Amino acid sequence: MPRYNAPLEIHVHGQVALQENVTFQQLQDVLKPLWKYVGARSLNDAKGSFYEDEPGIKFDAQEHLLQMCWTVEGDDDFRQTLDEMCMNLNDVAQTGAAIEVTFYDAEFDDEDEDDNPDAESRDDFVILFVGPDPASIMQVQRDLLVQDVVSLMERHFDGAELGGVVAAVDSLFSQRFDDLVNSLQLGKPPRGTGGGSLGHGGGRKPRHLH
């Protein structure tokens, strides 16, 4: 069901390796928050993207993969839908995975900003993490952080010089994982675990993330 005058275009992009016994029917139940949000009756009815040139939501039964390159019209309430989807995916994921979500302000016009300097776009970009256990999620977070840090520092240093930086990142994540394990053993929430997403505000983000 189209959401008329929806203020946001929301692009969901990612690939999740699924457990080998996951069927399409199970995946449909897992992704129910997505297709219910658009007013569809099934995943098949909602798997097509708002943009025809995007693959949408695909299930590769042979490779046991969920692939998403899917745009929907909506509002900030879609964030709750994403939370529910990620909780469901944790139960069927084989390994950790990152899902990129871009919120594009469909009502914001760059020309309006020139006329009104106080105007603010609602553009946003977040990375959500799913996985069968905290260790697999932290591994994905670690890999992305190392990739970002190395990419940034290679502008100034040779890659061979960055071993110490990578080791420092590994040490931080090792300590975080130890804190998580200890907190679970004590029945207390871990300090500084940061939750299941990374957010990056500000700036206009690309509408498509193929």
pLDDT category of residue 138 using cuts at 50, 70 and 90: confident
Residue 19, SS3 per DSSP: coil
d(CA 34, CA 192): 30
Q: Does residue 147 share a domain with residue 128? A: no
Residue 90 in domain: yes
Tokens found for residue 160? 């061979």
Q: Is 56 exposed, middle or buried (0-12, 13-18, 19+ CB in 10 A)?
A: middle
Check residue 87 and give its pLDDT. Answer: 96
Which of 82, 72, 5 has the alpha carbon at shortest distance from 39?
72
d(CA 136, CA 197): 14
Q: Does residue 181 share a domain with residue 96? A: no
Residue 26 in domain: yes
Does position 183 have pLDDT exceeding 80, yes or no? no
Question: CB of 189 within 8 A of CB of 183?
Answer: yes
Residue 173 in domain: yes
**What is the share, in percent, of the chain residues with pLDDT greater than 90?**
52
Question: 142-179: per-residue pLDDT in tens?
Answer: 888 888 888 888 888 887 888 888 888 878 777 777 77
Section 85-102 average pLDDT: 97
pLDDT category of residue 200 using cuts at 50, 70 and 90: very low
Q: Does residue 164 share a domain with residue 83? A: no
Question: CB of 105 within 8 A of CB of 7?
Answer: yes
Residue 107 in domain: yes
Does position 79 have pLDDT exceeding 80, yes or no? yes
pLDDT category of residue 206 using cuts at 50, 70 and 90: very low
Q: Does residue 66 share a domain with residue 170? A: no
User: In total, how many domains does the chain have?
Assistant: 2
Structural domain of 108: 8-132+194-201
Has this prediction a pTM greater than 0.85? no
Residue 123 in domain: yes
DSSP line for 95-163: S-EEEEEEEEETT--HHHHHH-TT-----EEEEEEE-SSHHHHHHHHHHHHHHHHHHHHTTTS-GGGGH
